[in-house]
Structure 1
Amino acid sequence: MTEIIPPITLPPSENPHLEGEWLQQSLLRWLDTEFIPEAINHTISQRAAQIFVRQRMEGENDLGSLVIAIVTEMEAFDFSKSFYGEFAIANAVSDLLLDSLGIDRCCGQ
């Protein structure tokens, strides 16, 4: 029988801008260590953090919805100078958020 995966809900944001700063720094660190440091990584992490902050300020707490928003809005971003794309960025944001919440992201648990 198929089991439904419950949604992951972030706690309501008390300071979206502080969360955005943390996300921007964490994502930049991830981008720079995953392959090689590139100048475009700073711009990518800033844009993803801006999307995240705006979504949080609008009251979005569902992790899945946040990931979809990042994928959708990052589609317009020019990734031609990067190894990454919108899906890699959204997945990295998801992983960073899950890690920050202490949620094990291995094996669907």
Structure 2
Amino acid sequence: MSNPVQPITLPDIENPEQEGKWLAQALNKWLNEEFIPEAVNEEIAQQASQIFVRQRLEGENDLGALVVAIVTEMQAFDFSGSFYGEFAIANAVSDLILDSLGYDRCCGQ
């Protein structure tokens, strides 16, 4: 029988402005490198970062819940000028956060 995936709880937010800026820059870089750079990528990164930071300021530290919040709120974003959608953005945010915390994302570890 397989073991359930343990939740990942982030430490409390200490510097929301710095965390938001880092996430927006890192996500924009990822978006531009994953396919082709698009003007809308910066807007997508800013929106996802704002959602993430707002959720953190409201006390949400569970990474899974943060991903769900990004998916839910990014559904209102117009992705018609992009290769991406809300699920790709939320997953990318999760990967960037896990990388920054030193988690090995390979093979479900």
Q: TM-score range by the shorter chain?
A: over 0.9
Matched residue, 1:35: 35
* Count of aligned pairs: 109
Give the superposition deviation at 1:4: 1.0
- Structure 1's unaligned 5+ residue stretches are none
Matched residue, 1:12: 12
Structure 1 runs of 4+ with >2 Å offset: none
**Distance in 2 between residues matched to 1:105 and 1:17, nearest whole Å:** 26
Q: Alignment RMSD, CA only?
A: 0.6
TM-score, scaled relative to structure 2:
0.98
**Distance in 2 between residues matched to 1:88 and 1:53, nearest whole Å:** 18
**Distance in 2 between residues matched to 1:106 and 1:91, nearest whole Å:** 14
- Structure 2's unaligned 5+ residue stretches are none
Amino acid of the structure 2 residue aligned with 1:41: N
Measured against aligned partners, the alpha-carbon deviations of 1:7-55 in whole angstroms (never above 9, x if no partner) come to: 0011111011210100000000000000000000010000000000100
Structure 2 residue 69 is matched with structure 1 residue 79: no
